[in-house]
Structure 1
Amino acid sequence: MPRIRGASIEEHHELVWAGLAEALRQLLLERDYDSITMGHIAARAGLARNTLYNYAPDKSALVLLLTERASRPAVARVAAIAARSGESAAGRLRGIVEAFLEASTDQALQPMFRPGAGSLVADVPKGPGNPFNAIVAEVENVVRDGVARGEFRAVGDVPLTVELLSGVVRAGAERIGREPAVFAATVSVTQEVVLAALRP
């Protein structure tokens, strides 16, 4: 019978997930994503390989689950910022950009923002299965609200506009990943570029 790491089954699972996230992060510092196997992850996390398959059927599924779990605080923070109905749409959008860029510094999410992450990013599905989909939906709602209030210009295709602007924010996250010391300056420039694209 496998050793339980926590005081309860729930705590055990949380500890295992935390260990898996840390194992993947360490392995990505040492080698290319494509060369990492489930065996490598299991060994680094201190698990038997067959135990790892109780958590995910393959590496792609494991990465998706780890990313979804790590993104929860950022999703909650963005939702709270987007819900500030008394604040201008521009102010909320500034807050969301800063929150997202701050989340990109989280060790558990950093691999998603590494320049040239390649297959790692490709393993995270597009659309509703993407852990960041909730953030995109919140941004779309803020943009629509800004258009309705006359703060932003009328954009013909809000989802496409947000998708294009997300490229700007991702570039900011990649810059911060390369040069953590430029965090504040990168946040400021990213906010200005995003808002410049939406102002009337």
Structure 2
Amino acid sequence: MPRIRGGSLAEHHELVWADLADATRRLLLERDYDSINLGHIAAEAGIARNTLYNYAPDKAALVQALTERASRPMLERVTAIAARTAEPATDRLRAIVEEVLEASTDQALQPMFRPGAGRLIDEMAKAPVGPFHAIVAEVENVVRDGIAREEFRDVDDVPLTVQLLSGAMRAAAERIGRDPDAFVATVRSAREIILASVAR
């Protein structure tokens, strides 16, 4: 029977998830998603390949689970920003843009910001729950609040508007992934485009 790390089985699982996340980050720094297999992840994490099946049935499910777990701190920060209703909606939207693009520099979150890069990314983007859904819901709330306060123009279709704005965010994140030195300029441009799209 494998040795249990930590004080409980739950703690053991959290430690293994952390190892898998670190291993996946390192691998994504070296190669693209499609060239990584379960054997690579297991070897990099220092665990037996058959152990991975206790966490996910295949690579896509494993990386999706890792991406969703890695996104939790960012989602908590985005939720906290959106909830700062004493602040203008413009300031909150600007802060969310910066927060999400900062998170896009984390290799563990790169699959989330690379739509079209494979089946995994397409599935994550279409999922009714998860990182994409949570971010979109918070941004929709901020946009609606901005409209109610007359900071933003009265758009006909808030979900469609936010979906179109998310395309600009993904394009910015993809550029940052290709050229990390362009981070500051890309954040500035993304912020300007998104705020101009909803400004009165």
The TM-score with structure 1 as length reference comes to 0.90
Alignment of 1:9 onto 2:15? no
Q: CA 1:89–1:66 in 2, change beyond 3 Å: closer, same or farther?
A: same
Q: Is there any run of 5+ residues in structure 1 with no aligned partner, and where?
A: none
Which residue in the other structure is 1:87 paired with? Answer: 87
Instruction: Give ranges in structure 2 of 5+ residues lacking alignment.
Output: none
User: Aligned partners of 2:115 and 2:182: how far apart in 1?
Assistant: 16
Q: 1:123 to 1:40 in 2, by over 3 A?
A: farther
Question: Helix, strand or coil: the match of 2:6?
Answer: coil
Q: Could you tell which deviates more after superposition, 51-60 or 115-124?
A: 115-124
Partner of 2:166: 166
Describe the superposition over 1:131-186 as per-residue Cα deviations: whole angstroms up to 9, x where unpaired.
23111100000001111111111111111110110011111111211222222221
Q: Which residue of 1 aligns with 2:28?
A: 28
SS in 1 for 2:131: coil
Q: TM-score, normalised by structure 2?
A: 0.90
Report % sequence identity: 71
Separation (CA, whole Å) in 1 of partners of 2:10 and 2:90:
41
Q: Describe the superposition over 1:58-115 as per-residue Cα deviations: whole angstroms up to 9, x where unpaired.
A: 2221112111100001100001100111111111000000000111112321343358
Q: Give the equivalent residue in structure 2 for 1:77.
A: 77
Matched length = 200
Does the CA-based 8 Å contact 1:60-1:123 persist in structure 2? no
In structure 1, what is the equivalent of residue 39 of structure 2? 39
> Which aligned segments of 4 or more residues in structure 1 are displaced greater than 4 angstroms?
none
